[in-house]
Amino acid sequence: NAGVTQTPKFRVLKTGQSMTLLCAQDMNHEYMYWYRQDPGMGLRLIHYSVGEGTTAKGEVPDGYNVSRLKKQNFLLGLESAAPSQTSVYFCASGQGGFTGELFFGEGSRLTVL
Amino acid sequence: AQSVTQLGSHVSVSEGALVLLRCNYSSSVPPYLFWYVQYPNQGLQLLLKYTTGATLVKGINGFEAEFKKSETSFHLTKPSAHMSDAAEYFCAVSASDRGSTLGRLYFGRGTQLTVWP
């Protein structure tokens, strides 16, 4: 029972490089989310998706792009990484609505030099 | 608009002591409220949630929280702390209206709980 799986778990990038974080869930959830976690800032929503083929912006979308081509996968891309994007990134999924529980991956730690 | 304020970024208690983590929310509609816990190097997991009905909600590991509408609060408590409770705790609020906030949670900044032996 994998739940939500994020790859890679660790990555070091140089400024200007690009990369993609992959999130996969095996719970057939409609909703998927990408958050970033920074010390003292809690979790901030980057982008989210309410179903296959749909995406929407969250609180801090600048510098990131996402795609949801398959229901079980949600990709987060950084086209030109900046040091300000050094963070721990969490993917989550859920059944949606306002009473549902979110299931989180274990996080991906990204460092941009 | 929805928002969450967690009072105290760090709380320290002795093992066996009462745990009290404070959360106040702001919501323009009836809120759904959550507490999540994050253990070191792990993702968040749901501790408990309030949707409707009984205002005292019980969660896992002996935690409970009470929804107080008049105080716009949802404080988390545990009568007796255990070493294994050391973690970061996040309060969150969800909107119950439809629209652009559909399906979103708004998290507080978190409270780090330290438990001393």
HSE at residue B86, side-chain half, CA atoms within 13 A, is: 12
B-chain residues within 8 Å CB-CB of A89?
Answer: none
Contact present, A67 and A75 (Cβ < 8 Å): yes
A-chain residues within 8 Å CB-CB of B49?
Answer: 99, 101
Q: Which of A36, A42, A38 is nearest to B6 (CA)?
A: A42
Q: Residue A1's pLDDT band (boundaries 50, 70, 90)?
A: low
Q: Which tens digits make up the pLDDT trace of B39-84?
A: 988 899 999 999 888 889 999 999 999 999 999 999 999 999 999 9
Token reading at A46: 């980057």
B-chain residues within 8 Å CB-CB of A50?
Answer: 102-103
Chain A residue with CA closest to B50: the answer is: A99
Q: Which tens digits make up the pLDDT trace of A5-22?
A: 999 999 999 999 999 999
> Does B28 contact chain A (CB < 8 Å)?
no
Token reading at A9: 């778990």
3-class DSSP state of A26? coil
B-chain residues within 8 Å CB-CB of A4?
Answer: 43
Chain A residue with CA closest to B39: the answer is: A106
**Per-residue pLDDT, A97:** 66
HSE at residue B83, side-chain half, CA atoms within 13 A, is: 2
Q: Which of A81, A82, A105 is nearest to A32 (CA)?
A: A105
Select the residue from A98, A99, A102, A108 to test the B interface by mutation, using most B Cβ atoms within 10 A: A98
Q: Which tens digits make up the pLDDT trace of A60-108?
A: 999 999 999 999 999 999 999 999 999 999 999 998 766 678 999 999 9
* C-alpha–C-alpha distance, residues B73 and B12, integer Å: 21
